[in-house]
Amino acid sequence: MKKLIALLLVLVMAVSLVACAPAANNDNNKDDASAGKGTIAVIAKGETHAFWQAVKAGAEAAGKEAGYAVTFRGPTAESEEYVNSQREMVQTALNNPDTKAIVLATIGLGFTDELTSAFDKGLPVVEFDSGLYSGGADITEGKDPTIGSVATDNKKAGGVVAENFYAYLKANGKAVNGFKVGIIQHDSTATGIDRAAGFKEGIEAAAKADGVTLEINLQVKANNAGEYKLGLTALKDWGAQAIFMTNEGVVNEVFPEVSDNADTYKDILFCGFDAGTNQYDWIKDAGKTYALLVGSVAQDSYNIGYEAVKLAISKLDGKDVADVGIGGQWYTADNIDALKDQNIFYMG
Amino acid sequence: MSNKNPLLKKSAGSSSKQNIVIILAAIALFAIFYLINNNFASSGNVLNMTKSFVPYAILALGVTFVIATGGIDLSIGTVCIGSAVLAGAICRTGVSAEDGTLWLTIPIILVSGLVFGLLNGVLVAKCKLAPFIATLGTMLVSRGVTAVISEAIRETSSAVKYPPTGWFQKVFTNLNGFPIGLVWVLVLTIICAVVMYKTKVGRYILAIGSNEEAARLSGINVDKYKITAYAISGLFAGMAALFYVAANPSLNIASGNGMELDAVASVYIGGTSTTGGSASIIGTILGSMILVIIRNGLNLALSSGSVVSATNITYAVTGVIVVGAVMLDVLKKKSAAKVKIDSIPAKKEESKS
Amino acid sequence: MGETILKMQGIQKYFSGVHALKSVNFDLRAGEVHALMGENGAGKSTLIKVLCGIHKRDGGTVEYFGENVEFDNISKSQAAGISVIHQELNMMNHLTVAQNMFIGREFKKNGFIDDKAMEREAQKMFDKMGVKIDPSVKLGDLTVGKQQMVEITKAVSRDCKLLVLDEPTAALTLPEVEELFKIMRDMKAKGIGMIYISHRMDEINRISDRVTVMRDGEYVGTVNTAEVTKDDIVKMMVGRVIMGEQKAASNCPCDAPILLDVQHLNAGKEVKDVSFTLRKGEILGFAGLMGAGRTEVARALYGADHRQSGDIYLNGKKVKIKTPEQAVKHGICYLSEDRKRFGLMLDKSVTDNSAIASVDDYVTAGIINDGKMRDESEKANTKLRTKTPSMEQLLKNLSGGNQQKVIIARWLMKNSDIFIFDEPTRGIDVGAKSEIYHLMEELVSQGKSIIMISSELPEVLRMSDRIIVMCEGRKTGELDISEATQENIMQLATMREEN
């Protein structure tokens, strides 16, 4: 008898835990849903990072304008081990009767049934940021729910860096034959390749227009602790006079090295990609104590979120839609604070 | 007392009450979640649930044999994922069904699981290591070795990919919308029940769990049957990998982190004794079912914009249930011990002479 | 004899409807040793637990030094001067003797534990008791007997007025028993009252002043030890006379074929060059003191422990026995003295326990025929008159004697030829003992052979056809039953190697 009672006790505890958790959130749910026309579910590759928070802000703004509620969720980290939890988020969205469209970027495979289900339910799926993993291998033929994509055009953004950086070189009389420019590319995915290529092609073209030939050295590294630093050292030994860093991860590893050994790197000019605390501190230093970070391009995270939701809503409104490429935003010490206020630059 | 069907007899024993309670709890939870969100019972969602249920259930079935000996196998999670990563690397599978040799992954995964299981068995039975230590070692070794081999073959540490659609899914997860994995679980459950209750292997494993020394002195080759138990556990970890991969075609070595704990929790919830000696195969299945219902139900119950993570609530609920289930086991033993000391003389009088 | 310090009257105790103590009376005087006797399950332990506060009584009164008391827990009764020395000692083997003695009331100096002071104090107490123990050694390094002395000294040091000794001599060697009795007499002189629980009749005669007998939770009576004989007490306990006389002559013809021949067995430190033979249909007794190496001989022969050397011949043929599995295949079985550890699967059914060695016989095409297995188990247990409500009953719910029968059934079902019984009646109540004896006699009459290890000389003399005596790992003698007496066995059993 005693054990039965104990068992029932445990069950009651478990059931009440289960029961009270959703109860607390149901009200929440209703508030969101009362926004009117339904819900756009945004499922990103992350949630807490400043980048995603800016995307979220953009997404919510777009929803508000059109009278849709927007939910925003993402897994703990962008790694295949969290595919399960991301899939659950997609399932939640699919099973929510208020959901009208899904904005999605996946971190792994295994969404075949979910995408099919979205198609069967007639829910449009907008790919954003890097879109569906592995180029959409999860999509079943004939049951493709995707209607378009919204992403940073990395090549274009790399070109923006090149253009602005070359302008700086030229203004400072450094645009000369044999000027050595290094690139640290963060990995060999499309993102890294496009950014590096966009920069390389852009700066070469700009130089050529002036009849100048630059020397370019590309260092491709994997996303591992310490590797970017090795890239920096290699470029220093090669005699680089300027270095482009293709993402925030590279900056985060290079910045401490440059600031700790200020004299060694004093004469190199840097430019970067993405935003973040290190970028902010570095750019604000303006070359006073250590090497100068001339400027960077920030992904327009806010607009990625904004445009993605807008694309979904356009589709729901029955309009024709097309892929949207978002360019980057060049920032320097002069405009960084203004961009920060606009949520385009973020501290992460 | 004329109940001669041993399968029924075993489950009609002390664990039957627990089984009934688990079934009732499962029904109650199902009802609650259905009321919160009607989509919970939709065919799409049932398919979702079976996809996560099947690998856990199979892991749990296998490890039930080890727990029945009084041991534990912490390596099943990493053996499962490691085998899948290893086979994917060796067979060079990719997102397209034409990449590599997909069918070959099946024997490689099963053999890999079996080998790690045998390793556990030898460490425990022959080297006399405590099961916790031996399988902790294998957990780390299986993770490390399979990852290193895979990295060496593929020359990258990025995720291993299997085709997300194709015959693998049709065989293991989704046969044109039918959750085919359930059929597999049913078949494996029957096999496990027969092995556990109707064959020498199961009988000896239970005897070892009940009193290892007594089993040895009764002429049982204890080492052999312990190794068998760990081998079964390893082989089932391999089998679970097939279903895991079909549902999660891109995976890295960290995927499925903590699977072994959910599986072990299912076994305890199902009423298998933590000290070995008695095992409930049906209970194990019911235990993993409960965990999946809670996990999936909570996930659906939470609004998609919720700040509270379903995963974390699931942890808390699972914890409460596991502790409760094991507490039951302890209470059961305690009350039994009391009976033994104090009320036997009277009982003896009443019994036939 | 002093004043009455304890008076328990009309004690009642129920456990979930079972009437465990039925109006039991018990009293104890200062400076008295009062033996409490009864078969296992008679309610002795329950009575003691009621006394020291582990169980709450459901009726009756307890008067302790003239006051009505009811202790809520052990520490309350301890504070009142009641100490219980359990058969299985609950002490910490990794701590030193002194640390064990002062556990929970350590001496402190500057906030740190002062081991030296505790050792000095312990030494003082040992000296007072006349016990030779070094308080600075680890408790686990002492013999069980010495450990018991430590526990008794600890009790005395707590100003104990009432000491309960629960089967204290079960694990002691003869000299150790003597030492214990000496200390008990000292304590008597100091006016400490002692409740003494034991199954050993001769000890009761020597040490106790009065005997109270319980049976099935009922109070049978209290007698002055000096006024009754052993048989009187046994009669009170079981209501009949049971212990038989010594066997007059061997029942085994000396031309019976030699079944088992063990040559020059060496195993660890405990077995030194032991050789012996066993005839078909013979009961071979192994006598000796605790630690003589008899169990070790059996285990080495059975393959349960590793042996350095020694050959085993079965029916004249040399056989390889390195594991119990091989021994069982050769028709040898071993019934351990420590059934709980080495024999029983307590949470398994009677059927499972009976059939575990012979599962192979019930397997067809890999599947066990449970019905047949159950029927065969029932047949074997019926033959042995095992008392159990059903074959599905869990073994832990059976009494010690019936558990032993289930293990015998296990080997009957396996159709073993050689039964090694290690202390076959240990922990079995008097009534069931004679049944076990009958069973053994039945086995040999069917042509089985038995090796019986026993520490109870009357048992050895009653059952054996031939007796091998061991001392400190060596075989010191072999006696035919017709020439064996308690005296010559004891002489051989104490024949220590001269250095």
CATH class of C258-493: alpha beta
Query: Out of A29, A91, A112, whose CB is closest to B303?
Result: A29
Confidence check: pLDDT of B339 > 60 = no
Interface partners of C (3+ CB pairs, < 8 Å)? B
DSSP state letter for C275: E
The three-state secondary structure class of B41 is helix
In chain A, where the domains are located: 30-152+301-327, 154-298
Q: Are B248 and A109 an interchain contact pair (Cβ–Cβ within 8 Å)?
A: yes
Which residues of chain C fall below pLDDT 70?
1, 16-18, 39-41, 87-90, 170-171, 238-244, 427, 430, 497-499
Banded model confidence at residue B349, pLDDT cuts 50, 70, 90: very low
Rounded CA-CA distance C121/C137 in Å is 15
Rounded CA-CA distance A40/B137 in Å is 47
B133 touches chain A (CB under 8 A): no
Tokens of C46: 């329950």
Kindly state which CATH superfamily the domain A30-152+301-327 is placed in: Response regulator (3.40.50.2300)
Contacting residues of B for C18, CB less than 8 Å apart: 342-343, 346-347
ipTM value for the complex:
0.81
Q: Are C397 and B194 an interchain contact pair (Cβ–Cβ within 8 Å)?
A: no
CATH class of A154-298: alpha beta
**What does the pLDDT profile of chain A (348 residues) look like in tens digits?**
555 555 666 666 666 555 555 444 444 444 444 457 899 999 999 888 878 888 999 999 999 999 999 999 888 888 888 898 899 889 888 888 889 999 999 999 999 999 999 999 999 999 998 889 888 888 888 899 999 999 888 899 999 999 999 999 999 988 899 999 999 998 877 888 999 999 999 999 999 999 999 999 998 887 666 788 889 999 999 999 999 999 888 998 999 999 999 888 989 999 999 888 888 999 988 888 889 999 999 888 888 999 999 999 999 999 988 898 888 889 999 888 888 887 777 776
Rounded CA-CA distance B283/C460 in Å is 50
- The answer to whether the beta carbons of residues C419 and C450 sit under 8 Å apart is yes
Alpha helices in C139-173 (DSSP H): 144-157
A8, A13, A25, best to mutate vs chain B, most B CBs in 10 Å = A25
B150 touches chain A (CB under 8 A): no
CATH class of C4-238: alpha beta
Q: For chain C, where do the domains classified as CATH 3.40.50.300 start and end? A: 4-238, 258-493
Q: Mutual orientation of helices A2-33 and B14-36 as an angle, nearest 10°?
A: 10
Q: Are C370 and B347 an interchain contact pair (Cβ–Cβ within 8 Å)?
A: no
**Residues B227-238 pLDDT 10s:** 999 999 999 999
Q: What confidence score (pLDDT) does residue A104 get?
A: 95
CA distances to A80, B109, B239, B242 from B85, rounded to whole Å, are: 12, 9, 14, 11
- The answer to whether the beta carbons of residues B184 and B172 sit under 8 Å apart is yes
The pLDDT of B293-313, averaged and rounded, is 74
Query: Out of A6, A94, A110, whose CB is closest to B248?
Result: A110
Q: Are B6 and C46 an interchain contact pair (Cβ–Cβ within 8 Å)?
A: no
Q: Are A10 and B45 an interchain contact pair (Cβ–Cβ within 8 Å)?
A: no
Determine the residue type at C262. V
Rounded CA-CA distance C402/A92 in Å is 61
Contacting residues of A for B243, CB less than 8 Å apart: none
Contacting residues of C for B343, CB less than 8 Å apart: 15-16, 18, 20
Nearest CA-CA distance, residue B5 and chain A, Å? 26
Q: Please name every residue paired with C145 in a beta bridge, in sequence order, or none if there are none.
A: none
Q: What confidence score (pLDDT) does residue A148 get?
A: 92
Backbone φ and ψ for B173, nearest 5 degrees, come out as -120, -55
Mean pLDDT of all residues belonging to chain B: 85
Three-point CA angle C475, C496, C279, nearest 5°: 15
**Residues B85-100 pLDDT 10s:** 999 999 998 888 888 8
Query: Out of B217, B340, B348, whose CB is closest to C342?
Result: B217
Rounded CA-CA distance C53/C75 in Å is 9
The pLDDT of B272-295, averaged and rounded, is 90
Domains of chain B: 47-301+311-333 (1.10.3470)
Q: What confidence score (pLDDT) does residue B345 get?
A: 38
CA distance between the termini of chain C: 47
Using CB atoms and an 8 Å cut-off, which of residues 177-236 of chain B contact chain A?
A: none
Taking residue C148's Cβ as centre, other Cβ atoms within 10 Å add up to 25
Taking residue B133's Cβ as centre, other Cβ atoms within 10 Å add up to 12
DSSP state letter for C240: S
